[in-house]
Amino acid sequence: MDAPKTKIYGLVAEFETPTQIVDAANKAREAGYTSMEAYSPFPVVDLHEAVGFKRTKLPTLAFLGGLTGFCTAFSLETFTSGGAPSFVTPFLPDWFYYPVNIGGRPLNSWPAFIPPEFELTVLFASITSVFGMLLLNGYPRIYHPLFNVPRFSLVTTDRFFLCIEAKDSKFDLQGTKQFLEGLHPYEVSEVPE
């Protein structure tokens, strides 16, 4: 870690309260830093805006996932129960087109179809959200340079970390370190790559 040749991933500052890290991130953004990331044990309101986080495509993906689920359930139920329009039914295979008379109700009993449509909407939307979130976050990933900072393990208990990455065009080891120390953190550490 002390070897002079080590490549630096960035500088990380440790804070003790959520309010401190939101203030710090706001100051860093206002100072012109763009490549930074905040780490906290729980979601902190306003923090994503403070680090200049842009909205992801996840809500759109989840919406499309839900829509797919709805359409899947709708067509599955309509076609298998024989509720499809009559110009389609002659083209359906026998094992798929299976009209069932249930208590004399119409073949296309759309009110009864809604609960499964709702369930598949929720199922598809939530699966898309969870896996979309993991993929957009770059997971699966087994190594991250921040793990080289011993105190970083506290991020899962009660400490908040703000990391300014070396790829930032404004990054300069001494200047950024001074800047971070001016924000009154508990500690500032270098993060080896």
Partner 1 sequence: MASISENVSNNLALVQKAAFGVGLVSLASSLALYTFHGKKEFFQCYLIAYLFFFAIGAGSLALLMIQHVSAGAWGFSIRRLLEAGSRTLLLLAVFFIPLVFGLQEIYPWARPDALKDKLIEMKSGYLNVPFFLTRAAVFFVLWNAMAFSLSYFSKKEDESAQESIGWWFKAISGPGLVVFAITIGLTSVDWAMSVDVHWYSSMYPVLFGFCCILTAMIFHIIAMILIYQGGDLEKYLSRNYLRDFGSFLLGFIIFWTYLNFSQFLLIWSANLKEEVPYYVNRVTGGWQLVTIALALGHFVLPFLFLLRRETKRIRFTLFFAACFMLLMRFVDYFYLLGPSFSPRHFHFGLSQVTCFLGIGGLWLSFFIYQWNLYPPIAARDPRVVKEPVHGV
Asked if 142 touches partner 1 (CB under 8 A), the answer is no
Question: Rounded CA gap, 181 and 173, in Å?
Answer: 12
Q: How many CB atoms lie within 10 A of CB 91?
A: 8
What's the token pair of residue 44?
Answer: 């902190």
Q: Does 36 bind partner 1 (CB under 8 A)?
A: no
H or E element in which residue 22 lies: helix 18-30
Which of 14, 39, 40, 65 is close enough to bind partner 1 by CB under 8 A? 40
Exactly one of 11, 12, 13, 22 binds partner 1 (CB under 8 A); which one? 22
User: Least Å distance between CB 111 and partner 1?
Assistant: 5
The smaller minimum CB distance to partner 1, of residues 115 and 175, is found at: 115
- Residue 63 or 96: the one with the smaller Cβ distance to partner 1 is 63
Block residue for tokens 């270098």 = 190
* Beta carbon nearer to partner 1, 44 or 107: 44
The torsion region of residue 35 among left (phi > 0), alpha (psi -120 to 50) and beta comes to beta
> Cα–Cα distance between 176 and 178 in angstroms, integer?
5
Determine the interface stretch with partner 1 among 90-98, 108-116, 130-138, 144-152 (rule: CB under 8 A).
Answer: 108-116
* Interacting span for partner 1 (CB under 8 A) from 2-10, 75-83, 109-117, 137-145: 109-117
Q: Which stretch binds partner 1 (CB under 8 A): 5-13, 45-53, 151-159, 177-185?
A: 45-53
SS3 of 38, please?
strand
135 by DSSP, 3-state: which? helix
Applying CB under 8 A, the site for partner 1 has a residue count of 18
Is the separation of the CB atoms in 82 and 137 below 8 Å?
no
The distance from CA 31 to its chain's CA centroid, rounded to whole angstroms, is 27
The one among 31, 56, 57, 59 contacting partner 1 by CB under 8 A: 59
User: Which residue ranges make up the site for partner 1 (CB under 8 A)?
Assistant: 18-19, 22, 40, 42-47, 59, 63, 103, 105, 111-112, 114-115
